[in-house]
Amino acid sequence: MRGAPFALLPVLAVFAGCSGLRLHEQPSLVLDGIPIYGSVEKIPEPTLRAAIVLDRSLLTSPASKIYLIDVVSRAELHVYHTPRNPRWKEYQIYKRVAGEWRVQERVVGGSIRFP
């Protein structure tokens, strides 16, 4: 019976590798209380702060809280205004164009199964 937990490790590794942002992954950086994941080293801190300031200036409702930021590349950020959920994604895409962050499309989607 002791070998049973070890037998499940490969299965768990497959499931853990399927998601982009893992639920228990530690952030690479925390800035203004916002956990930031991904390739944080590609973007200077003042540039990240500029994206946060822009996002906060555009959204003034209570739902505008930034739960996390995912640095996709030096020119693209995904800003999440909802808590992490393995079945549902909702984020705003920001792209850096000519040295400034620009709002792109909002992504909403997931795979919620109903009985």
Give the pLDDT confidence of 23-63 residue by residue, as tens digits. Answer: 557 899 999 899 999 999 999 999 999 999 999 998 766 66
* Kind of pairing between the strands at 88-97 and 100-110: antiparallel
pLDDT tens string 1-21 = 555 554 544 444 434 444 455
Is residue 77 packed enough to be buried (19+ CB in 10 Å), middle (13-18) or exposed (0-12)? buried
pTM above 0.85, yes or no: no
Q: Are 79 and 102 in contact (CB under 8 A)?
A: no
Query: In angstroms, what is the C-alpha Rg of the chain?
Result: 17
* pLDDT number for residue 24: 58
* pLDDT number for residue 19: 44
* pLDDT number for residue 18: 43
Q: Are 72 and 78 in contact (CB under 8 A)?
A: yes
pLDDT tens string 56-79 = 998 766 667 899 999 999 999 999
